[in-house]
Structure 1
Amino acid sequence: MVEGAVTPHREPTEKEIRLVIAASSAGTVFEWYDFFIYGTLAGLIGAAFFPSDNETLEILLVWAGFAVGFGFRPLGAILFGFLGDRLGRKYTFLVTVTLMGIATAGVGLIPSAASIGLAAPIIVICLRILQGLALGGEYGGAAIYVAEHAPPEKRGFYTSFIQASVVGGFVLSIAVVIACRALIPADDFAAWGWRIPFLLSIVLLFISLWMRLKLSESPVFQAMKAAGETSANPFKESLTYPGNPKRIFVALFGITGVLTTIWYTAFFSGLSFLRGPMRVDESVVEWMLLIAGTISMSFYVVVGKWSDRVGRKKPIIIGAIASLVLLFPVFWAIGSLANPGLERSARAAPVTVSGPACEYDPFAEVQASPCGRALQDLTALGIPYTIDDAAAAQLAIGSRIYGYEDLPDDTRRASIQSWLETNGYDFTRQTPPLASLVGIVALLLLLGVLSALTYGSVAALLSEMFPAKIRYSSMSIPYHIGAGYLGGFLPLIAGYIVAMTGNAYAGLWYTIAVVGFGLIVAWWGLPDGPPRDFEDSGQDPPASPVLP
């Protein structure tokens, strides 16, 4: 849509809407690419900025940095929601995409911790905060912008491209990493090549700005501004508007809590699970996620279009119930296909650890006891274990007993690994056979379907839940609190649970708990029946224009 092409007095044409969708979706892809490239390169970022002798601590610090960015998303939602409701949708998300691009490129320019010490992780955290602030304003702006251009009967379909674009950002991050690995020798990529995907953000920023500058303001916002009906204080009104506290609660737990934990479990937990405990070759994992992610983007569009006929509630309820039933079986099946030898070894020669003060603190640089150090090594090696109350400092691998207490720190892990290999454990990177790879991709696609069911219609649903004059703030705040804390902290919390239990699947319980509660809230709080604009939903009528 060329600047000024759409006025408040007519609906946009199909051609104009296609440009709105394309520009908004492309910007969303680029912005989420910027955010996800950090998680995609977690291992190398840990080595560069959070080095530690405790490998588990190193990766947890990376995920903590990941979570910090998410933790600031609600503040970004408040700030940019205020600007979006006061100044307009278009210029607000032009600011957010610029901030995201600059902050992401900055990560690629930071010297390593080996060069500048503690300053390196501090700068990384500061840039992650800027990314979180930017992302807090991006999703609401893009979703509302498309929703306010879309005809009501196609709103779910048109806005579903925004949801698919979030997956597109993840896919793009994987594709860029694969391309860089193919062009740069492995040692060079680990040393400096990993910075290139971050620096690429500058190019993506200019493309996104070029596309979005072609757009005009939302017709709904133009109408409100012309009538003098924009909100004086969108944040305050979001909390005080009649019925809004309930709607925000439902949006937070019944919508966002469900979709975000399923999404991050499907993609990031799948990525970490295959790379880590299952020891699958990194390039193989990246190709599987690339294929599964690319195909799964279409699921979001299908669900969004379906929701225009059956309503927004039904797909979310179906997806949440299916997730509660299927998450554990799907991951068990992925584990069996990815590394069947590990499962056989764990059954034939289970590992049991005993000894005084047998406790493991994943956040400790140095464990307090020899038993804790043994548990640290087993966790780093990805080996499941159980703890026995016996006083003797022993490591039982099947029927064989080993004493670990007097092992030197510099050779302890190598000794434990040697014991495990003697008892049938294989620590080589795995490349599953073709049939297994196809099976894993199919299971990842099933996770993509679960995510699409709970996510595909959400932009339309949230836009319809709130009055137009405070829509940007009202939908952004609960969305980014849920996505920022319930979803953004998932890799850290799930990783901590796995480290504490020695069970590679135990982190899924976090997702189960959040989705289970969210299902109850969604069943109670979401409206049944076909989609309805805000004024038709049985709520207090708004004092401003509704969706066109």
Structure 2
Amino acid sequence: MADAVATSGAKNGETVQRKDALVIGAASVGTVFEWYDFYLYGSLATYITHHFFSGVNETTGYIFALLAFAAGFAVRPFGALVFGRLGDLWGRKNTFLVTMLLMGLSTFVVGLLPSYEQIGVAAPIALVLMRLIQGLALGGEYGGAATYVAEHAPHGRRGFYTSFIQITATFGLFLSLVVILATRSTVGEDAFQAFGWRIPFLISIALLGVSLWIRLQLSESPSFQKMVDEGKGSKQPLKDSFARWGNLKIVILALVGLTAGQAVVWYTGQFYALFFIEKMLKVDGATANTLVAIALLIGTPFFVVCGWLSDKIGRKPIIMLGCALAALTYFPLFKTLTAAANPQLAAATASAPVTVIADPADCSFQFDPVGKTVFNTSCDLAKSYLAKAGVSYENQPVAAGEVAEVRIGETTLPSFRGETLSKEQFAVEKKAWEAKLGEALKTAGYPEKADPAKINKPLVIFVLTLLVIYVTMVYGPVAAMLVELFPTNIRYTSMSLPYHIGNGWFGGFLPTTAFAMVAATGNIYYGLWYPIVVAAVTAIIGMLFLKETKDVDIEA
């Protein structure tokens, strides 16, 4: 800790505690607000699809909504470079005041944007622009907050202190879910669908004001101030971080052996789980949000536990164990989630599995960026309905030219060739075909929606909480470890880039990638291969090549 703070601590331990509480609290409150802003979009992806991507088919619209969500993540490394450089030149405090302002204003504007029906394609363009601004701002926010708190923390307690910053992402998501639920219950589902989804975005302007006021009470980081006073600052933090092999090697290792696996475990446990319950298992949005919020509330204290434990036994063992457990248990946990959240779907899948029997050349990946393609082959007709109904299926190839069939248990229904029909005939035949297929699925026990009365809520919460605990293991100690890997004069820049490539690209694209993998294969669990492979690679590389950092002197 800085000399001034250490001196006051020698005289009065209580003063140190008050100063530390202000540092942690001010950095954390602002970061909670920024995560709240960022994750409102992910929590409301279904409504975003309806209002901003209504010009394309449902599957394409949802993928587009997720891509717009991912756009914010895509630019986070660039925000890390821009604001990381400013943070190493200009100071930690000033930089994350700017990032907070950008984040808050762009979020408020999202609540005001006209829909696709009102202004056409300009609506999704404006939405993506706001997401890009949010992503740039968040790219500079996290590194500043984590560095600021770590540079105030006493030696031997950095894991504990920075764990409060790690809570902010989960608490921001939790806060967004609570605000959404409160708005839903206040205005009703129909009004929420029409306009109420905008309210959580609009009220963020009040949170921005409070957060800015709190952060203005802070002074500069003691480590940064000491470095400036001694004239040891870097004049070219980007060059010193990435053009010198000694530091660049650590940046690369921090990415592949640390943040990539941490990111996919984080987004699987807290975001993909919500998408999975709502989109794949057909649990209504309010119930899904409530169950996830309860799990987050139970699991969140483990961020501090894991941060504190990392000060005792090390950062590396906890993070790598979390990645390994995730890779080994995701499949059984998500299958348990299916059985608990929608037991009728699980029973029907076991007793009457669905197979699409089709010529592979007759099947296309149903992604239509311009909304003009008509998917009218016999295979596409079958797969589009099953995807919309949330029914998992296997694929079985047949000889070229044969009409596709859908087998449901022992029942087989032939599809039809829509490409040979007129537009009017196709519409009539499609309606009749979908009604017949829907009735066959219903007879086999496939539900249109999860029955709220049959959801095993305690088991769902248990599985979701376990997924959150994996998140706390990989995420709780990671800020301290990243700070400890790099010297003070280029710390903000160096730690921000691997963190935001890992979380912005590996993690941020996870919902989009996983959903696209499910849409392509028909298997609702297939998307899990993405986080499993990345987490396993990180666990192996991290264990073999990453050094332990808990005893590093960050001012040396």
Indicate the TM-score class for this superposition, using the shorter chain for normalisation.
over 0.9
**Equivalent of residue 460 in structure 1, options 467, 480, 483:** 480
Amino acid at match of 1:38: Y
Question: In the alignment, which residue of structure 1 is the partner of 2:412?
Answer: 401
On the 8 A contact 2:80/2:140 being kept in 1, the answer is yes
Question: In the alignment, which residue of structure 1 is the partner of 2:365?
Answer: 361
On the 8 A contact 1:49/1:112 being kept in 2, the answer is yes
Runs (5+) with no aligned partner, structure 1? 535-544
1:382 is aligned to 2:390:
yes
**Equivalent of residue 379 in structure 2, options 350, 371, 376:** 371
Q: Give 1:124 shift.
A: 0.5
Q: Runs in 1 of length 4+ with deviation above 4 angstroms? A: 4-12
- Counterparts of 1:6 and 1:418, CA distance in 2: 75
- Counterparts of 2:381 and 2:71, CA distance in 1: 28
1:78 is aligned to 2:89:
no
Which has the larger helix fraction?
Answer: 2
Question: In the alignment, which residue of structure 2 is the partner of 1:123?
Answer: 126
Q: Percent identity?
A: 43
Question: In the alignment, which residue of structure 1 is the partner of 2:438?
Answer: 417
On the 8 A contact 1:361/1:500 being kept in 2, the answer is yes
Question: In the alignment, which residue of structure 2 is the partner of 1:274?
Answer: 277
1:24 is aligned to 2:27:
yes
Q: Give 1:150 shift.
A: 0.4
Deviates more, 1:214-223 or 1:400-409: 400-409
1:163 is aligned to 2:166:
yes
- Counterparts of 1:529 and 1:111, CA distance in 2: 49
Question: In the alignment, which residue of structure 2 is the partner of 1:392?
Answer: 403
Amino acid at match of 1:175: V
Question: In the alignment, which residue of structure 2 is the partner of 1:235?
Answer: 238
SS, match of residue 507 in structure 1:
helix
**Equivalent of residue 520 in structure 1, options 540, 543, 548:** 540
TM-score w.r.t. structure 1 length? 0.94
Question: In the alignment, which residue of structure 2 is the partner of 1:541?
Answer: none
SS, match of residue 243 in structure 1:
helix
TM-score w.r.t. structure 2 length? 0.92
Amino acid at match of 2:438: Q
- Counterparts of 2:515 and 2:445, CA distance in 1: 26
Within-5 A mapping of 1:169-180: 169-180=172-183
Runs (5+) with no aligned partner, structure 2? 10-14, 419-425
- Counterparts of 1:369 and 1:65, CA distance in 2: 29
Q: Give 1:267 shift.
A: 1.1
Q: Give 1:347 shift.
A: 2.2
On the 8 A contact 2:484/2:549 being kept in 1, the answer is no
Change over 3 Å in CA distance of 1:346–1:193 after alignment to 2: same
Q: Give 1:160 shift.
A: 0.1
Q: Give 1:526 shift.
A: 2.0
SS, match of residue 391 in structure 2:
coil
**Equivalent of residue 472 in structure 1, options 492, 498, 501:** 492
On the 8 A contact 1:5/1:216 being kept in 2, the answer is no
Amino acid at match of 2:404: A
On the 8 A contact 2:156/2:550 being kept in 1, the answer is no
Question: In the alignment, which residue of structure 2 is the partner of 1:537?
Answer: none
Amino acid at match of 2:405: Q
On the 8 A contact 2:341/2:450 being kept in 1, the answer is no
Give deviations 1:408-428, integer Å, cap 9, x for gaps: 446244442222113222113
1:305 is aligned to 2:308:
yes
Question: In the alignment, which residue of structure 1 is the partner of 2:514?
Answer: 494
Q: Give 1:165 shift.
A: 0.9
On the 8 A contact 1:136/1:480 being kept in 2, the answer is yes
Amino acid at match of 1:55: E
Deviates more, 1:511-520 or 1:417-426: 417-426
On the 8 A contact 2:319/2:474 being kept in 1, the answer is yes
Change over 3 Å in CA distance of 1:79–1:418 after alignment to 2: same
Question: In the alignment, which residue of structure 1 is the partner of 2:452?
Answer: 431
Q: Give 1:283 shift.
A: 1.3
**Equivalent of residue 41 in structure 2, options 38, 42, 64:** 38
Number of corresponding residues: 532
Change over 3 Å in CA distance of 1:445–1:156 after alignment to 2: same
On the 8 A contact 1:73/1:480 being kept in 2, the answer is yes
Change over 3 Å in CA distance of 1:530–1:83 after alignment to 2: closer
Within-5 A mapping of 1:333-372: 333-356=336-359, 357-364=361-368, 365=371, 366-367=374-375, 369-372=377-380
Question: In the alignment, which residue of structure 2 is the partner of 1:248?
Answer: 251
SS, match of residue 392 in structure 2:
coil
- Counterparts of 2:511 and 2:453, CA distance in 1: 25
On the 8 A contact 1:337/1:432 being kept in 2, the answer is no
- Counterparts of 2:160 and 2:332, CA distance in 1: 31
Deviates more, 1:338-347 or 1:299-308: 338-347
1:102 is aligned to 2:105:
yes
Amino acid at match of 1:358: D
Q: Give 1:518 shift.
A: 0.8
Change over 3 Å in CA distance of 1:530–1:220 after alignment to 2: closer
Considering only aligned residues, what root-mean-square deviation do their CA atoms show, in Å?
A: 1.9
- Counterparts of 1:394 and 1:433, CA distance in 2: 32
Q: Give 1:439 shift.
A: 0.9
On the 8 A contact 1:54/1:376 being kept in 2, the answer is no
1:195 is aligned to 2:198:
yes
SS, match of residue 152 in structure 1:
coil
On the 8 A contact 1:7/1:222 being kept in 2, the answer is no
- Counterparts of 1:278 and 1:162, CA distance in 2: 33
Question: In the alignment, which residue of structure 1 is the partner of 2:12?
Answer: none
SS, match of residue 531 in structure 1:
coil
Amino acid at match of 1:417: G
